[in-house]
Amino acid sequence: MRLLRHVGSELAAHPGRSALSGLSLFIGVVAIVAIFTIGLVTFEVFVAGVEQQSGRRITISTHVDVPSRDPAAAIAAMNQALTPLPTAGGGFAVLTDAHGRFGRPTEFRDGSPLTGPNVAVTLVSGDLGTVRRLPVLAGGWFDESVDYPLQMVVNMPAAQILGGPGSVWLWQPTPNSRPLQIIVCGVIADGSADAHAYVPLLNLARLHPYAVIDAGDGTDSSLGVELLLHHPTATTAALRELAVAAAVAAGAQAPDAVERIDQVDHYRDQLRAQQTAFLIVAVIALTIAALGILNIGLASVSERARELVIRRAMGATRTQIVLQLLVAAAAIGAITAGLAVVVAVVGVQVWAPTLISPQSAATPPSFPWAAAGWGLLASVTTTLLGAAIPAALAARLDIATALRD
């Protein structure tokens, strides 16, 4: 208790100097906390965008020409060959582009083609939301086990044209085909500024196989699809073997080119390099703060020599003198770190979410308490290093000489 009283008097003796020490330290600590915090936010934003566009970490892509004599059976066989992936923490998706127009149910007259909005369509089988980060904004993904009514998922620009979940349309895949009733079941964020709809490939192949064939390469010989495989820990070679097995199961030739398409590791390495550079700057700022604390501490010891000697003469030990100065310095560091953490918490909880678009795949980050811990450690360590020499000098003051002066 006596030590705490002396620490309080130590801080109150020169409040201006304590405030200046805290200010110089605050800059360095805020830099430390901000580096970790901004690094996490930036990583989430950049990586989320990459995973939204190209795929989550470790995603491969290959082209497969599926025989068109029975596209539904071929796609089902491919899906069956890929079933081990979801149970192991990964996922797959079979994609192909489609065309056609949408129209209101009241617009179809006497077999005439629909003239409604022309929205880009991708036929999907599997779980594209597992392969790519595609957050659902409303409704949900379509269910491939339900053939009728045909469902589709749209992105935000398409939702502005076609409407949200529950909107009913006619979709005419080809000019000569009979329109199919299709219902919007969900709205997703896919990162595209263009209107885009996603229709279940397997369901359409069962209902309208010729529309699927026309949606592929335009011939009756094969249906060209893109096969995406993702697993967070698998090797590219293992995913390549699985892709070959899936193609063979569908009656297609083994794909020649299988490549990894995600860019997560590339961006992660770049962000870590930038974080290291900023961390070096923060360490330099803390070093300068420590030198400032050292300079202020030496001046304070010189000015308060008589006071400290009187304490020694009244029975205070050298250890008590050292602890008085070091605990006071540590208190400044802890208070400074607390203020820095408050600033960081406000930034993460209030400011950072405003920077994330609703159409982004990034999720608002939670506060990285590990960064707060490192900031507190850096702050207290810096103050202790800066106060160590002044504390040692104060403990070694000669009582007789100081009293004679």
- Give domain limits for the chain: 2-50+265-404, 60-259
> Three-state DSSP class for 362?
coil
pLDDT at 211: 75
Contact between residue 390 and residue 294 where contact means Cβ atoms under 8 Å apart: yes
End-to-end CA distance of the chain: 32
Cis peptide before 67 (omega within 30 of 0): no
Task: Report H helices in 54-116.
Answer: 71-81, 84-87
Return the structure tokens found at 99.
Answer: 């065309």
352 secondary structure, DSSP code: G
56 secondary structure, DSSP code: S
In terms of Cα–Cα distance, which of 51, 66, 56 is closest to 226?
A: 66
Residue pLDDT, tens place only, 357-402: 666 656 666 667 776 777 777 777 777 777 777 777 766 766 655 5
- Residue 159's DSSP bridge partners are none
Low-confidence ranges of the chain (pLDDT < 50): 3-4, 6-7, 217-218
Contact between residue 154 and residue 198 where contact means Cβ atoms under 8 Å apart: yes
The C-alpha atoms of residue 215 and residue 95 are separated, in whole angstroms, by 11
Locus of tokens 């200046």? 20
pLDDT at 381: 78
pLDDT at 230: 93
Return the structure tokens found at 16.
Answer: 């201006």
pLDDT at 17: 57
pLDDT at 65: 86
- Which secondary structure element, helix H or strand E, spans residue 102, and what is its range? strand 101-103
The C-alpha atoms of residue 248 and residue 255 are separated, in whole angstroms, by 9
pLDDT at 69: 78
